[in-house]
A and B are shown apart, each in its own frame.
Chain A
Amino acid sequence: MDASEIEFLAEKEHVRVIPNFSQDKIYLISGDLGPFSAGLPVSIPLWLAVNLKQRQKCRILPPDWMDIDGLKDKKQEEADSRFFTDMPSPFYMEITQLLLQCATDDIPGADEVRTLIKDIWDLRLAKLRSSIDVFIKSGASHAKLNHLTLLEMNTVRQFLTKALDHMHRLKLCVSGDPAVQQ
């Protein structure tokens, strides 16, 4: 799984938008959307919201968690906690990225939101790296991490699994397992 696939999953998250057109319900495999009435907020998947926004057909309402004070608190909580904290959305990074790309004007304090999300992301990745470090150094065979988001897992997955695999082989070599030596 790569980042674009995760983004695809994230695009299924719903956001509220204010359309500037009126349209009856549209029937999709994933479910019915709408009806759209101009000026009235409606909840639609992110992919559609982004599409409509690009065509200037709607105004996106930022998700509730995307406000500066809340994110500041979240960042503080993340910094204070030794463990990962629960994120307001499992796709917080992706949603922020997508919304800030196409709907900067709809999000109050967009720059600050971007910085805060990036800070939280950095904090979490730092935590992730240090916990992996502890995990490998302790030589444990398994570890449990709560509240990791898909994208965060994905950043380390490829390297970590390969590395663990190699380390396992090396260990076997040291222990002199004939199967590996062959």
Chain B
Amino acid sequence: MKPLKLAHSEGHTDVCYDSSGSFILTGGSNGKVCIWEGQDDTDTTTVSIGGTIFALAFQGGRFFAATDENAIRIHTFPDGVSDGMVTRFTAPCRHFTISEDGSMLVAGSDDFKIKIISMEENECICLYSEHQAPVLSIALDPTREFIASSSCDGSVKIWNVIDGSTEKTLSILPKCSEPSQAKSLCRLCWSKDGEFLLIPLNNEIFVYLRSSWEVVKKVNNPAIKEIISVMTLSHDGKHVAVGCTNGDMGIFEWQINKLIERQSHPKHLTITSMIWNPKKSNELAFADNMGQLGFLDVAELSKQSAPGHLVNGDSTFGDFDDDMEVPSEQDGVDADDIDKFLDDDDDENSIDIGSIKRRLNPLIGLDDNGKFYSMASSRVDDDKPAMPVVVPPVMTLPDNIFKPTISLTYIYIKHALLFLCVWNSVGIVRQYTSDDENSIDVEFHDTSTHHALHIDNKLEYMMADLSTQALLLASRSDQDSPSKLLCMHFGSWDSHKEWSYDMPEGEDIQAITVAETWAAVATSLRNVRIFSIGDLQCQVFSLPGIVVALASHENKLLAVYHKGMGVPGDQYMGVSVLRVKGNTRSKVISDDTLPLSPASKLAWIGFSEEGTPFFMDSQGIVRMMNQHFGSTWTPVVNTRQHVKGKSDHYWLVSVSERLQQIRCVPCKGSRYPATLPRPALGVLPFQLPLCDVSSEKTQYEESYQRSILMARSLEKSGLVDEDELVKPVREALVKLFAFAAKSEKDFRALEVCDLMEDQSLLHIAATYASRLKRMRLAERVSGVMQKRQEEAEHRFSEAQAESEDERETNDHRSLPHTTEAEDNEEEVNGDRQLSDGEEHTQTNTGPILKTYIEKEIKAKEKPSFRPNPFKLSGSSEKNTTKGSHVFDKMEKTTPKASPIFAPLPVSIKRSTKKSGTQPKVISFSKESKKSEDTNSAQENMFSIKSEVSSRTSQKLSENMAVKKKISAFDLWYESSKDDIQATHPDLAEEDLSQKAAEGFRALTKEERQTWVEKAKTLNDASDDNTMKKRKLFSAGGDNDEGAVIQEASKKVKVESTSVKKTALSQSVNSKLARFAKSN
């Protein structure tokens, strides 16, 4: 061997050849890339790249270097000019590989991630993050279907290039805490045809067969005693060179397990990199951990080297066969010839016939799945001749059974591991593992729950869950000990705070959960065992699939399990929610499918504080179950919208529906929260993903949808006051309506009205519409109201029969009290309004008495309808105030509506009454007799004129509307209309009525009195008519007389309202509000 060349300072050194094989590039810890021209070059060119270089590769006239800036940079060759960046990680990239045609780069990093980067688009086409420790090395399958990667977590994972789903996990490597601690760099190799995967393990190479992923052969030799660190396959695919930690280097003809060359590093330093010369098949370059570069010339190989055997990217099964010119007494293993394989069986006793059969099965029956996969793989490299890629159906199951709120965060503190097991709304459970200590720490958010716990973890518990009453721990089984369950019931009031169980033979705990009063475990035999918190075994039932996660809330258990095979990349998980405790044990959700985002996994599942199931997938979407919409799942938060960096994530801790927020831990550059320093919880608001988020309309819509979703979900729970739930819904609706009406989208506004559930809202809408002069809209809104009214009436008549008797009794009992209350209130209001001059005059105008009558009726009716199921609660009336406040605010932006001649407000007014207390109006038909009786009491009331507020006068007009009363003003107006018209011929009708109102007010008290009397006599007559008509109407029959009366009274109504409107326009809203409140 030639003397070594010192290229770099001490540390990991990487070496590669350029494509012509005449230049050698080395990169090392001094941050420089040295370019050597051939073996004998002494005058090297150096390119300073900076920092430390972890990995180096050459492709297409450029070289790629992974540096400690956590990036892979491109430099031109030979100048070394920077030519951009391929990708960036959050931790150093230790190894990367480029496909032979240069279209794809695969890089693995210390942040546990592996990226596949398409070089043409220079973007990451696949991110693989199944590893739970830094990635050591990567190998790309020549057929480009799989990638094999080794990691410090002791696993070699084989996963699908297209969708990143794990094909196979081999947990064979020794675990280590970080790459610098790793004894072996564990470079992996695929055989030339991709049929075998070579994995170095200690001083042997294990050969795994594709698709069955079982060891078919071990390549070893007594001469290689130390751990194999690096390994590289020759370009013809027959030889594999290995470099050991003690500096031993060997070249195997791996198919026949023959060591053809063995050399030793002169100083016995660890070999960190080895590479074959692409043009000379007998030359190898290597680098050691002291930054030295050396070369191996393989005498044995120089004999057989022939130009034809050089780089052959397009080799298929066929020509691989032809290339087999192995100068040995044994035949090489033919990749697809079963007979030869079996012949070799005597010599290589590690071949498993079963695995061969398995391998051949798909070849024999090429099923749809096989076709699908071959199509999929040809998509990646369609420039290559189509290869017969046949793969059996792949289950895309995650290897690690995921537990809710359990993660594996590895924190390296002096070669010890600190895991975070649980972080939920109760507390944090951490596991601390080192050589001499193994313990579990429990910390409670609320110190009043319990003091912090420190448990010696001798039994190696792996899973934990925490509730306010107990801590549940579970361990996996191993050869000699069964899977164990331990419950520390710290909430117990007796002295026995612990109980434990060993699982039956062969049953392994896979998921656990604990609630306040019970605990559940799911086992590998698909059993779910339920225990009471005080150590009673309650129930055992079976799940339909492999359990993924369990979660609990009060008496509900949620189980997520695999239902079967998803489409490639997707998970197909089922979810069931069961009531497992209490009197009614039933399924709440039965075997529903969990709607995960495409190609994502379940990241968190659990209940909100109020008990609704929520889950988050690995794409960061949080969904909540909507029980009022057939148990569908609604996305409520996209946590990805809130992250700062691309690789940041949120770790969900708890969800509060009441506050409409999720509590989560922001994780910088990771999926799991750091344990030190302790991150603070963040709060993210719910936001439904509606289209066009920035527009005002969407904001109102979103707010409505969100509030209604929450209101529906919470109304059953009884945790929250109903007012609190309904208020935002009403506000949102009113805003939505106002927005639609203002932007002249009448149809949409009417659609909004359809969403309004109670009449008081509809009334607000109608008032608003008429104030905006949207007559058509207002008309339709009142139409909607009428329809609702009829529906309610219909429903009421059905329900009425039952409640009638009860009502009667109630009626008499509570009448005096209510009336009194009304009167008191009236006084208060009256006092307040006395100061308001204008309104005061207004009160004197009409037959105020009617108001009292109506009140009387109301007072009687109110209690009588207590048992009515359709009665709106007080809360909704209170909210009317809120609603109209909304309008008050809006008024600032909208031009104030002028008094207008409108038939509509009247009908609207009429429904005001209906709206607040629907059944009352209905009762008019029923109780008309009663109202007539009270009519006779008007005279008495008349004297209390001064007390009457404009509010009542408004009510009066409503009353009129209902009963078709004629006011004194109407009579006067009728008679003096012509006069006024004559004096003001230029006035429009509405102005005219305004004028008339002024005129009427100008009349002396006596004059007015006479008109009032007249009106009264008239009204008494018309009252009877109206009542008759009403009776008929409610009986269902339509009658000519009724129609005529209606028409006539409508006309009068019209005029009276216009008068009222002028006087009231300013204060209607506040009055309405007060009215609603007082009700």
> Which A residues fall within an 8 A CB radius of B?
16, 18, 20-22, 38-41, 59, 61, 108
Complex formed: what's the CA distance from A118 to B471 in Å? 46
The number of A-B residue pairs with CB atoms under 8 Å apart is 35
**Chain B residues within an 8 Å CB radius of A59:** 678
* CB nearest neighbor in A for B677: A108
Complex formed: what's the CA distance from A97 to B678 in Å? 23
Q: Is the interface of B mostly helix, strand, loop or mixed?
A: loop
The answer to whether A39 touches B447, judged by C-beta atoms less than 8 angstroms apart, is no
**Chain B residues within an 8 Å CB radius of A61:** 680
Within the complex, what minimum Cβ distance (angstroms) separates B491 from chain A? 16
**Chain A residues within an 8 Å CB radius of B653:** 39
- Give the contacts of B666-699 with A (CB-CB under 8 A): 677-678, 680-683
The winner among A39, A59, A108 for most chain B CB atoms within 10 A is A39
Within the complex, what minimum Cβ distance (angstroms) separates A86 from chain B? 24
Contact of A39 among B445, B448, B677, B682 (CB under 8 A): B445
The answer to whether B683 touches A21, judged by C-beta atoms less than 8 angstroms apart, is no
The answer to whether B446 touches A18, judged by C-beta atoms less than 8 angstroms apart, is no
Complex formed: what's the CA distance from A166 to B449 in Å? 65
Q: List 10 A-B contacts (CB under 8 A).
A: A16-B680, A18-B681, A21-B446, A38-B444, A38-B446, A38-B449, A39-B425, A39-B427, A39-B445, A40-B681
* CB nearest neighbor in B for A35: B659
- Extra pairs beyond A21-B448, A41-B683 (17, CB < 8 Å): A16-B680, A18-B445, A18-B680, A20-B446, A20-B447, A21-B446, A38-B445, A38-B446, A38-B449, A39-B425, A39-B445, A39-B653, A40-B681, A40-B683, A41-B680, A41-B682, A61-B680
Contact of B681 among A20, A21, A39, A108 (CB under 8 A): A39
**Chain B residues within an 8 Å CB radius of A21:** 446-448
Complex formed: what's the CA distance from A79 to B678 in Å? 33
Q: Is B788 interfacial (CB-CB < 8 Å)?
A: no
Within the complex, what minimum Cβ distance (angstroms) separates B425 from chain A? 7
The answer to whether A39 touches B683, judged by C-beta atoms less than 8 angstroms apart, is no
Within the complex, what minimum Cβ distance (angstroms) separates A157 from chain B? 38
Q: Is B663 interfacial (CB-CB < 8 Å)?
A: yes
* CB nearest neighbor in A for B446: A38
Q: Which 6 A-B pairs have the closest CB atoms?
A: A39-B445, A38-B446, A38-B445, A20-B447, A41-B680, A61-B680
The answer to whether A20 touches B680, judged by C-beta atoms less than 8 angstroms apart, is no
Within the complex, what minimum Cβ distance (angstroms) separates B875 from chain A? 21
**Chain B residues within an 8 Å CB radius of A18:** 445, 680-681
Within the complex, what minimum Cβ distance (angstroms) separates A166 from chain B? 53
**Chain B residues within an 8 Å CB radius of A39:** 425, 427, 445-446, 653, 681
Within the complex, what minimum Cβ distance (angstroms) separates B290 from chain A? 36
The winner among A16, A21, A38, A40 for most chain B CB atoms within 10 A is A40
* CB nearest neighbor in A for B424: A39
* CB nearest neighbor in B for A22: B446
Complex formed: what's the CA distance from A110 to B55 in Å? 38
Complex formed: what's the CA distance from A176 to B678 in Å? 70
The answer to whether A41 touches B448, judged by C-beta atoms less than 8 angstroms apart, is no
Complex formed: what's the CA distance from A47 to B427 in Å? 27
Within the complex, what minimum Cβ distance (angstroms) separates A163 from chain B? 48
**Chain A residues within an 8 Å CB radius of B449:** 38
**Chain B residues within an 8 Å CB radius of A108:** 677
- Give the contacts of B370-429 with A (CB-CB under 8 A): 425, 427
CB 8 Å contact bits of B447-468 with A (1 = contact, 0 = none): 1110000000000000000000
Complex formed: what's the CA distance from A108 to B681 in Å? 17
Within the complex, what minimum Cβ distance (angstroms) separates B450 from chain A? 12
Complex formed: what's the CA distance from A110 to B427 in Å? 26
**Chain A residues within an 8 Å CB radius of B677:** 108
Complex formed: what's the CA distance from A21 to B445 in Å? 7
Within the complex, what minimum Cβ distance (angstroms) separates A138 from chain B? 48
Within the complex, what minimum Cβ distance (angstroms) separates A20 from chain B? 4
Complex formed: what's the CA distance from A40 to B680 in Å? 8
Within the complex, what minimum Cβ distance (angstroms) separates A110 from chain B? 12
Given A16-B680, A18-B680; A40-B663 close (CB under 8 Å): yes
CB 8 Å contact bits of B276-318 with A (1 = contact, 0 = none): 0000000000000000000000000000000000000000000
**Chain A residues within an 8 Å CB radius of B663:** 40
**Chain A residues within an 8 Å CB radius of B448:** 21-22
Complex formed: what's the CA distance from A24 to B633 in Å? 32
* CB nearest neighbor in B for A36: B446
Within the complex, what minimum Cβ distance (angstroms) separates B48 from chain A? 27
Complex formed: what's the CA distance from A122 to B421 in Å? 46
**Chain A residues within an 8 Å CB radius of B446:** 20-22, 38-39
Within the complex, what minimum Cβ distance (angstroms) separates A58 from chain B? 10
The answer to whether B445 touches A41, judged by C-beta atoms less than 8 angstroms apart, is no
The answer to whether B681 touches A41, judged by C-beta atoms less than 8 angstroms apart, is yes
* CB nearest neighbor in A for B682: A41
**Chain A residues within an 8 Å CB radius of B445:** 18, 20, 38-40
**Chain B residues within an 8 Å CB radius of A22:** 446, 448
Complex formed: what's the CA distance from A41 to B679 in Å? 11
Complex formed: what's the CA distance from A16 to B681 in Å? 11
- Give the contacts of B632-690 with A (CB-CB under 8 A): 653, 663, 677-678, 680-683
Complex formed: what's the CA distance from A52 to B653 in Å? 24
Complex formed: what's the CA distance from A21 to B446 in Å? 5
* CB nearest neighbor in A for B679: A61
**Chain A residues within an 8 Å CB radius of B681:** 18, 39-41
Complex formed: what's the CA distance from A22 to B447 in Å? 9
**Chain B residues within an 8 Å CB radius of A41:** 680-683
Complex formed: what's the CA distance from A39 to B426 in Å? 8
Within the complex, what minimum Cβ distance (angstroms) separates B268 from chain A? 44
Complex formed: what's the CA distance from A39 to B424 in Å? 10
Complex formed: what's the CA distance from A20 to B451 in Å? 11
Within the complex, what minimum Cβ distance (angstroms) separates A69 from chain B? 14
The winner among A20, A59, A61 for most chain B CB atoms within 10 A is A20
* CB nearest neighbor in B for A20: B447
Complex formed: what's the CA distance from A59 to B682 in Å? 15
**Chain A residues within an 8 Å CB radius of B683:** 40-41
Complex formed: what's the CA distance from A134 to B449 in Å? 62
**Chain B residues within an 8 Å CB radius of A16:** 680
* CB nearest neighbor in B for A56: B447
* CB nearest neighbor in A for B609: A37
Within the complex, what minimum Cβ distance (angstroms) separates A84 from chain B? 31
Within the complex, what minimum Cβ distance (angstroms) separates B428 from chain A? 9
Within the complex, what minimum Cβ distance (angstroms) separates B1046 from chain A? 55
Complex formed: what's the CA distance from A38 to B449 in Å? 10
Within the complex, what minimum Cβ distance (angstroms) separates A54 from chain B? 15
Within the complex, what minimum Cβ distance (angstroms) separates B661 from chain A? 10
Complex formed: what's the CA distance from A16 to B680 in Å? 10
Complex formed: what's the CA distance from A143 to B663 in Å? 50
* CB nearest neighbor in A for B427: A39
The winner among B446, B448, B663, B677 for most chain A CB atoms within 10 A is B446
Complex formed: what's the CA distance from A173 to B683 in Å? 67
* CB nearest neighbor in A for B653: A39
Complex formed: what's the CA distance from A76 to B680 in Å? 29
Within the complex, what minimum Cβ distance (angstroms) separates B837 from chain A? 39
**Chain B residues within an 8 Å CB radius of A40:** 445, 663, 681, 683
**Chain A residues within an 8 Å CB radius of B680:** 16, 18, 41, 61
* CB nearest neighbor in B for A41: B680
The winner among B425, B427, B445, B663 for most chain A CB atoms within 10 A is B445
Complex formed: what's the CA distance from A39 to B653 in Å? 10
**Chain B residues within an 8 Å CB radius of A20:** 444-447
* CB nearest neighbor in B for A107: B677
Complex formed: what's the CA distance from A21 to B448 in Å? 7
Within the complex, what minimum Cβ distance (angstroms) separates B449 from chain A? 8
Complex formed: what's the CA distance from A41 to B661 in Å? 13
Complex formed: what's the CA distance from A40 to B679 in Å? 11
Complex formed: what's the CA distance from A90 to B842 in Å? 58
* CB nearest neighbor in A for B678: A59
Complex formed: what's the CA distance from A94 to B722 in Å? 46
Within the complex, what minimum Cβ distance (angstroms) separates A70 from chain B? 15
Complex formed: what's the CA distance from A164 to B677 in Å? 51
Within the complex, what minimum Cβ distance (angstroms) separates B149 from chain A? 34
* CB nearest neighbor in A for B676: A108
